[in-house]
Amino acid sequence: MHCSISNTLQCVALGTMDIEVRPPILDLLKETPEDLATEITHLDFPIFKAITPDELICCGWTKKDKAKLAPNVVKLTQRFNNVSFWVQDEILNAGGVKQCTAMVSHFIKVAKKLGDLNNYHSQFAIISALQSTPIYRLRNTWLGLSHKDHQHYTKMQDLFSDDNNRENLRAAVNTMKLPGIPYLGLFQTDLVYINVSHPHCGGQEAEQRQKYVNNILCMLAAYQQSDYSTLPQNVQLQSYLGKERYNETPRRLVEDDYYKLSLMLEPIIHSIPDSDSNKSVSLPHKFRSRNRSDSLPCTMSGSLGIHGSFLIFNLRMSGEKCCVQGPLRRKTIKKDGRIYPVAPYHRYWIQMWGKALVYYDPKSLTSRGLEREEFNSSPYKWQGITEPKMKLILNGAKDAQTQSIIFQLADPGSDTVYKFLAPSIFAGLNWIKHLRHALEGDIQTTPNHIMFGRSTLHT
């Protein structure tokens, strides 16, 4: 019986799924890690090489018309997601625990070979897949890995750690010899921060901004001179790996389906695992205990630094710093004059750098955690709060508790209003304090409803 992701769920519900989930289109375990890594690299490099400076300078991938402004950046991002989802799909549809373990082991080897080819972009895509919620929760699958596999995985996990602004990965890219494909997210992050600290207001760019941007463009141009033409090519394998399986499906829906399938493979057991078993395996994720209600200052470990000759944009050099960060829920009340009476809240991890908010979206739709690890490490978007008419609106002036956790940012210039919901009174007060300072006291207090023209939106 052939079962796609959705069909697999139906098969389980009908009781027709045994150990084998579906026959694969291609038996990946018969393809060597070298061949898979080589063909993945053949697919990645032409897209990376085609990225133009104009796509990067304007941070076009953060805008609504990103496909037009930064087409090749978007394509390379889609390649990253396609590889990551493909890895999850193959593991979750491998069959029982033994088959899943074999597939995880195989992908660890593929990731290692990608590292040998200096293809950090797709190597990170595979590691990201192995760290995804549907995969890393498969405890029995990870227990079956060999000690050697665990060693290789742990080494790559450390390489892509987000500690100190991905210090290990930046150091590796800095010493990388051609040919190579760096993880593009490093440069995207730096360019976003440059735009936050040195907004492009038209005309001649600020000297610092131009210097930072030019250094990044020069580094990328050097990497684009790589030559992988001497590597062998397998047209059939390349065709299979190049299929765009998931780009037309919203990412969060795919993640939701994978999580459901993961639960069917290894249901949640509400018991405390044996302590000896915990010591016998290195689980693929680092968890940290944190007060879920806190909004935190941005510590030095989260700031940007310089490693050797490799430029890492440092906000401290421009006088800016991350003054507060934490989980917030945001919904649109009004945008470009259009009212959204039933808009849903969306979860983000938000950092405030000077007069800009940097948003990180959650890794999984199913996760409801408020810890930093539950959100992506690369920025999703950023929002400037430098407009002279930008206002902080406090809701429910007579209700101290409500006022402490709910606030709004209004931009009369664009006729846009966003409502924010903090996870606790402490977090809300902390955000309000820093927003007050950033907006230089430009605050107004509203009653329990806000009037927009003829419409009334209740809070």
Tokens of 152: 């290789």
The answer to whether domain 5-279 and domain 300-458 are alike in fold is no
* Burial annotation 227-259 (CB, 10 A radius, 16+ → b, else e): ebeeeeeeeebeeebeeeebeeeeeeebbebbb
pLDDT score recorded for residue 283: 46
pLDDT score recorded for residue 320: 56
Whether 161 contacts 174, CB under 8 Å: no
Return per-residue pLDDT of the chain as tens, 459 residues. 344 444 444 443 334 444 344 445 678 999 999 999 999 999 999 999 999 999 998 888 888 889 999 999 999 999 998 999 999 999 999 988 999 999 999 999 999 999 999 999 999 999 999 998 899 899 999 999 999 999 999 999 999 988 777 889 999 998 999 999 999 998 988 888 887 766 665 555 567 778 888 999 999 999 999 999 999 999 889 888 887 766 555 666 777 788 888 988 888 765 444 444 444 344 444 433 334 445 555 543 332 222 323 332 444 434 456 788 999 999 999 988 888 888 888 899 999 887 788 888 888 776 777 888 888 877 778 787 766 677 888 754 444 444 568 889 988 878 889 999 998 888 888 898 888 888 875 444 443 333 222 222 232
Contacts by 387-391, CB closer than 8 A, 24 or more apart: 387/411, 387/413, 387/414, 389/413, 390/439, 390/442, 391/439, 391/442, 391/443, 391/444
Q: E strands along 336-458, which residues?
A: 338-339, 346-353, 356-360, 381-384, 391-394, 406-411, 416-421, 443-445, 449-452, 455-458
pLDDT score recorded for residue 425: 82
CATH topology of domain 300-458: PH-domain like (2.30.29)
Kindly give the interhelix angle for 167-174 and 120-130, rounded to the nearest 10 degrees. 160
* Burial annotation 60-72 (CB, 10 A radius, 16+ → b, else e): bbbeeebeebbbb
Q: Where are the domains of the chain?
A: 5-279, 300-458
pLDDT score recorded for residue 55: 93
pLDDT score recorded for residue 395: 59
Whether 439 contacts 387, CB under 8 Å: no
Terminal alpha carbon distance of the chain: 51
pLDDT score recorded for residue 314: 41
CATH of 5-279, picked from 1.10.840.10, 3.90.470.20, 3.30.565.10, 3.40.50.2300, is 1.10.840.10
Separation in Å, CA 435 to CA 417, 420, 430: 15, 12, 9
What are the start-end ranges of the H helices in 280-422? 400-405
pLDDT score recorded for residue 287: 35
pLDDT score recorded for residue 286: 40
Angular region, 254: left φ>0, alpha ψ -120 to 50, beta rest = alpha
